[in-house]
Structure 1
Amino acid sequence: MDKFFDFDKTIEVLQYDFVRNALIAAAILGLLAGVLGPLIVSRNMAFSVHGTSELAVTGGAAALLLGVGVAYGALAGSIIAALVLGLLARRGSEHDSVIGVVLAFGLGLGVLFLWMYPGRASNKFGLLVGQIVSTDFTSIVLLSVCAVIVLGVLAFIYRPLMFASVDPDVAKARGVPTGVLSPIFAVLVGVATALGVQTVGALLVLALMVTPAAAACRITASPVRATILSVVFAEVAVLGGIILSLAPGVPVSAFVTAISFLIYLGARVFSKARATA
């Protein structure tokens, strides 16, 4: 057990600036993921989040190859992916197949870009599992600006978006512009997903964007309470995951996903116990 958690070493590592920066970035990301998560779950967009996160790798790999910031490349890749998916998947029946097609093509490009990149292998690996040491003041500024924009836009469209998520047919009949709201929300999710790539990596960004919200939705049907619980669960998972990963030097994503999964299991047990009580 001491191999995986050394309290004294963890306290020592917490004194470093890059660790404090990572915790600040993670707290912002947890807030974003927690707020967006219940809407993602209610709109059945988990596969979209997965596809967008993988295509963020393509953008990040292209940025490595061009010598620009990985965060900007991942952000551009996610936004482009969200727009392409939104434009091509107009009908729900073809949604998953379109994601699969675009995802395969994007990953192929990403693999090519990473193969062409002559730099360190750790930079390539960081795109997949996260790299908290790369979190600096510039990254926090970018994350903060993006978070403010995402939350601001979401606050403006939240009510009609929630209506369209719960009952899209009735919402459309009552004049809600569902055709406009869907791509806007997809872009918001794309931005948040790209930011998550920097912390937990593309392969496991679902641990933050979907799992906490799925756990919250098992406990309550209230959108407000589900959002609050989702934010709490996401913060516990990402902050706890970073702190637990410090001493052993294990990739952050390993702990983040483990905590998220345990929270989800606990929510399912609680839900089942309440239903049988």
Structure 2
Amino acid sequence: MLEFFELFQYKFFTNALLAGLLTSILAGIIGTYIVSRRIVFISGGITHASFGGIGIAYFLGLNPFLGAAVFAVFSALGIEWSAQKAKVREDSAIAILWSLGMAIGIIFVFMTPGYTPNLMGFLFGNILTVTTTDIIVTAIFALIIIAANILFFRPILYTAFDENYASTTGLNVKLIKYSMAVAVALAIVLSIRIAGIILVLSLFTIPQAASMLITKDYKKIIFWSILFGFIGIIAGLSASYFMDIPSGATIIFALISIWIMIRAVIFIKDKLNLK
């Protein structure tokens, strides 16, 4: 235990904890919308499509996360547009953009002059590489998301659960969906440092799955998701450091362990007929 607290003297560890807290807040809010609207598969498509932006950014000598953000936003808007306007089945549009993004990313990465960059950090994440700049950018975006969800809570809630009802109330559902698509895309890209492209969507779904075992209230799901997400990140980060294993995978394993424990407690409680 003492050895754990000694880690706080290292800047990389405090940066990782701050990034974990901010990511938990983002994932808690955005993930609850994703799960409630049942667009986990769409978010997965956005996540993998963002790799195309990483590849192009590498090729052009730009910041790969900037490339990922641009590509993810356009992919999110493209999926929403194709489903509403182009009459393309949503699952088909997702599969096309998912495959296209990954293919473009791989092609441009290997076309980049000089050495081949190490893609492990992008694919599987490394929370210990988070910089102060990353924290500032994530903090600003988290504040925007918090403010937007406070100001527009009911429109977001209605759209997440029942688009048809939301339309009958006079809400601009299209604007809300497009805006939330952009928010989802940016939140996912900002979280790639934590778990990587392969695993990042788990941060936006597993805490919510655990929370929904406890409550069905939208606000409470957000609260519990943030709490479980941060606990999972701390546990995974600690295990990763002391066991010298990949942080992204360890964090996801910790989150799944939380879900299993809650599920087990509920199962035992039901079997014993406890109140």
Cα shift readout 1:171-190 (whole Å, capped 9, x = no counterpart): 21222221211111111111
Within the candidate set 135, 145, 156, 2:140 is matched to 145
One-letter amino acid of the counterpart of residue 72, structure 2? S
Q: 2:186, 2:197 → 1: CA distance?
A: 13
One-letter amino acid of the counterpart of residue 204, structure 1? L
Larger deviation, residues 240-249 vs 103-112: 240-249
Q: CA RMSD in A?
A: 2.2
Task: Kindly indicate whether the alpha-carbon contact (under 8 Å) linking 1:13 and 1:246 is maintained by their aligned counterparts in 2.
Answer: no
Within the candidate set 74, 97, 100, 2:95 is matched to 100
Within the candidate set 34, 39, 47, 2:33 is matched to 39
Give the TM-score taking structure 2 as reference length.
Answer: 0.89
Distance 1:39 1:136, change over 3 A: same
Within the candidate set 104, 109, 129, 1:134 is matched to 129
Q: 1:258, 1:39 → 2: CA distance?
A: 23
One-letter amino acid of the counterpart of residue 245, structure 2? V
**Residues 1-277 of structure 1 aligned to structure 2 (within 5 Å):** 13-90=7-84, 94-117=89-112, 118-119=114-115, 121-122=117-118, 124-273=119-268, 277=273
Q: 1:14, 1:254 → 2: CA distance?
A: 22
One-letter amino acid of the counterpart of residue 27, structure 1? L
Distance 1:129 1:180, change over 3 A: same
Identity %: 26
Larger deviation, residues 190-199 vs 235-244: 235-244
Give the TM-score taking structure 1 as reference length.
Answer: 0.89
Q: Secondary structure at the match of 1:219?
A: coil
One-letter amino acid of the counterpart of residue 165, structure 2? V
One-letter amino acid of the counterpart of residue 61, structure 2? G
Cα shift readout 1:118-144 (whole Å, capped 9, x = no counterpart): 43543x111101123431111111111
Q: Secondary structure at the match of 2:9?
A: coil
One-letter amino acid of the counterpart of residue 119, structure 1? Y
Cα shift readout 1:153-173 (whole Å, capped 9, x = no counterpart): 233322111012222222212
Task: Kindly indicate whether the alpha-carbon contact (under 8 Å) linking 2:236 and 2:250 is maintained by their aligned counterparts in 1.
Answer: yes
Q: 2:31, 2:237 → 1: CA distance?
A: 20
Cα shift readout 1:65-121 (whole Å, capped 9, x = no counterpart): 222222222222221221111211228992222111111111110111222234354
Task: Kindly indicate whether the alpha-carbon contact (under 8 Å) linking 2:126 and 2:195 is maintained by their aligned counterparts in 1.
Answer: yes
Distance 1:255 1:101, change over 3 A: same
Cα shift readout 1:25-78 (whole Å, capped 9, x = no counterpart): 111011110122221111001112211111222222322222222222222222
One-letter amino acid of the counterpart of residue 248, structure 1? M
Q: Secondary structure at the match of 1:204?
A: helix
Task: Kindly indicate whether the alpha-carbon contact (under 8 Å) linking 1:56 and 1:74 is maintained by their aligned counterparts in 2.
Answer: yes
